[in-house]
Amino acid sequence: MPRTGVFVCWCGINIAKTVDVEGVAAASRSLPGVVHAETYKYFCSEPGQNLIKEAIWEKRLDRVVIATCSPSMHQATFREAAQAAGLNPYLVQIANIREQCSWVHSNREEATGKAVALVTAMVAKVRRDEPLQAFTLPVNRRVLVIGGGIAGMQAALDIADAGYPVVLVEREPNLGGRMAQLSETFPTLDCASCILTPKTAEVARHPLIELLAYSEVREVSGYVGAFTATIARKPAYVDWDKCIGCMLCQEKCPRKTPSDFQRGMGPGKAIGVNFPQAVPNRPVIHREHCTYFQTGKCQVCARICPVDAVDFNQAETTQEKQVGAIVVATGYEVVAPDQFGEYGYGKYPDVIDSLAFERLNSSSGPTDGVIRRPSDGAVPKEVVFIQCAGSRDPDKGKPYCSKICCMYTAKHAMLYRHKVPDGQAYIFYMDIRAGGKRYEEFVQRAVENDGALYLRGRVARVYPEDGRLVVKGVDTLSGQNVEVFADLVVLATAAVPSGGAPGLAQALKVGTDEHGFFNEAHPKLRPVETLTRGIFLAGSALAPKDISESVAQASGAAAKVLALFSREELLADPLVATVNESHCSGCFWCRPTCPYQAIEEKALRDRQVATVNAGLCQGCGACAAACRNGAMKLRGFTDEQLLAEVNALCL
């Protein structure tokens, strides 16, 4: 028979007011195995913890039940105290008589009766507890960063600078992500390339960063400290090791195509890089645009290449990387605005989205930084910006605020005025959300210095008239319908998760919200962690974010990775499932219930049985409920323990 001690806390008057704590202690003295029971005002305090420790020594207790607040409050405190007194911490159980008893009941007799029942159940449970040791997992101190935008690069650099190797995977042929497409950044108006390209260069030459561009993560298995990622390298049809980056191929390629990077405003080629400062500075052949792949004739690039790097037979290759942690920084895209028929996107060439306006502003863009409208190349004299195109629109678009649009639209209005001093910018908006350091001042500058005209209201229709566009909307401040003649209409379209995010979320077994953004472990207190240990998040993969927030979060994710890497071994919770092999019939009904693929097959002499990979197991117990033979046992929540609790509570 174990020697159990019961400690009933008063919690000042929080418990003692409603529950007769002395009565609970007295009742527990007659429970089987209980050799000691006492009460105290605050067991969580230092003298309270000392009382527990002394009782463990003096009464030679080998089990402890503390009737007190919720285990989420002080279970860890009491387990540490017990451990300090030489007792295995997993031989301590909490009976929650505050949150789930004294605070929710007012009848003293009933509350005391319930408290006795809860203590009885815990005494029955703790009797069946075994001493457990947290087990150790070795940590592979190399990290996989998925996404080479500003967030991914920042995380990669922070971790590599701390001395740990990084595998950085980027889906596109070059680093930079969305930021590479931007012209200037708010609220400083410094050019995006000028602050981005030093970072891309630093990533490329860092000895501890292995850059896998034009690659995608296909599969991830394993667990914290020991993940295996399968990474596919898409065929570039150019041998990047041979290539010297002269870009003669791009120059000579006869096939002109609309470039996705330039938001369809050209000029792209079937072979080449997205922009001149691309890192790595290596071209890819876009198979769908290439004349050779379409007709079997051409091969101009192959003939012109001085180092014979073009290889039309290149195929996808995959490789496996072993890493200890993963940072997901897959960023965002903008929603295709053609679903908003009233704005005429896709129908009228002079209705563009704001990423296209960034390209028009960019000196590496299709117009070399001169703002010209797509239809006829004329410099627009009046430009209408429409904010919340698809954001804050639960009916047709996304219900959330895309967060960055108010600021970049103010920036667009300013940049436009700087380039076209006699031009006029009109901005239709719902609200201006300019929270952030020097953000509100920035918007005010657009209004006061650069004459941006803000109209509060929605746009109902955009239609062409005499070679211009008519924007019909309402100004809700004056209550008037307004019509603006515009040469160019720019839609601030909603930000949505990157196209690769759903597949990646599935491979990582990490949750997303209803819009496909990755879910953090806790929205306030654990904003860069996921619920899967060892997988972290940064940047717009979680929700739309501006550059400074993405960078801050990336450094936060890097700090979490470094904390993980600060030890050679990790301590893992021992409350995992184990198999009683002599009872296991090898039916594997448990297997489909496991969300972590932790159940593996093990060959005995005469049959196959289930075995649990303790590194993968998260201790949910789904397998234990599915097991028909009772062979699967979840430590800390065994059938015997839970049935003992049931029995005790039904007394």
**Where does this chain bind other proteins (CB under 8 A)?**
70-72, 96, 98-101, 103-107, 110-111, 113-114, 117-118, 121, 509, 511, 531, 575, 593, 595, 618-622, 624-626, 634, 637, 639, 642-643, 645-647, 649-651
| Nearest residue (CB) to other proteins, 222 versus 380 | 222
Give the long-range contacts of residues 472-476, CB within 8 A, separation 24 or more.
473/428
Closer to other proteins by CB, 183 or 530: give it: 530
Specify the residue, 94 or 290, whose C-beta has the smaller distance to other proteins: 94
Nearer to other proteins, 110 or 568 (CB): 110
Nearer Cβ to other proteins, position 96 or 550? 96
Which of 391/618 has CB closer to other proteins? Answer: 618
Smaller CB separation from other proteins, 528 or 644: 644
* Continuous segment of H or E residues that includes residue 408: helix 405-419
In the complex, minimum distance from the CB of residue 637 to other proteins, in angstroms, rounded to a whole number: 6
- Asked if the peptide bond before residue 280 counts as cis, ω within 30 degrees of 0, the response is yes
Report the nearest approach of other proteins to the CB of residue 6 (Å): 17
Bridge-partner residues for 491, per DSSP? 353, 386
Distance (Å, whole) CA 35 – CA 225:
43
Measured distance CA(333)–CA(173) in Å, rounded = 17
- Nearest in space to 43 (alpha carbons), one of 14, 63, 17, 19: 14
User: In this structure, are residues 318 and 235 in contact, taking their beta carbons and an 8 Å threshold?
Assistant: no
For other proteins, the closer of residues 24 and 300 by Cβ is 24
Minimum distance from residue 42 beta carbon to other proteins (Å): 18
Residue nearer to other proteins on the CB measure, 174 or 641? 641
* CB 220, min distance to other proteins, A: 15
Q: CB neighbours of 57 closer than 8 A, spacing ≥ 6?
A: 85, 86
Least distance between other proteins and beta carbon 98 (Å)? 7
**DSSP assignments along 592-621, one per residue:** GG-TT--EEEEE-SSSEEEEE-TTT-----
In the complex, least distance from residue 497 CB atom to other proteins, rounded to whole angstroms? 18
| Residue 106 vs 136, nearer CB to other proteins | 106
Give the start-end residues of each E strand in 234-292: 256-257, 268-269, 271-272, 284-285
- Cβ nearer to other proteins, comparing 588 with 637: 637
Strand partners, 526: 522
Give the dihedral sign, CA 457/458/460/465: positive
Side chain identity, residue 268: G
Residue identified by tokens 């200890």 is: 324
d(CA 220, CA 167): 14
The C-alpha atoms of residue 103 and residue 116 are separated, in whole angstroms, by 16
| Helix, strand or coil, per DSSP, at residue 216 | strand
Least Cβ distance, residue 513 to other proteins (angstroms):
11
- Closer to other proteins at the Cβ: 562 or 575? 575
Residue 350 CB, nearest approach to other proteins (Å) = 43
Nearest distance, CB of residue 37 and other proteins, angstroms: 20
Closest contact distance (angstroms) between CB of 230 and other proteins is: 21
H/E stretch holding 116: helix 108-127
**Region label for 589, one of left (φ > 0), alpha (ψ between -120 and 50) or beta (otherwise):** alpha
Do 82 and 65 contact (CB within 8 A), yes or no? no
d(CA 239, CA 314): 8
User: Taking a C-beta distance cutoff of 8 angstroms, is the pair 169, 401 a contact?
Assistant: no
Q: How far is the CB of 135 from other proteins (least distance, A)?
A: 18
- State the sign of the Cα–Cα–Cα–Cα dihedral 137, 140, 145, 150: positive
Q: How far is the CB of 23 from other proteins (least distance, A)?
A: 15
**How many CA atoms, within 13 angstroms, populate the side-chain half-sphere of residue 603?**
1
Alpha helices in 435-546 (DSSP H): 439-448, 501-508
Tell me whether residue 16 is exposed, middle or buried, using C-beta atoms within 10 angstroms of its C-beta: 0 to 12, 13 to 18, 19 or more.
Answer: middle
Residue 124 Cβ, how far from other proteins at the closest point, in Å? Answer: 11
Q: Please report how close the Cβ of residue 102 comes to other proteins at its closest, in angstroms.
A: 8
Among residues 100 and 375, whose Cβ is nearest to other proteins? 100
Q: Give the pairing type, strands 599-603 and 608-612.
A: antiparallel
At 501, list the tokens.
Answer: 């995010």
The nearer residue to other proteins, 312 or 589, going by C-beta atoms, is 589
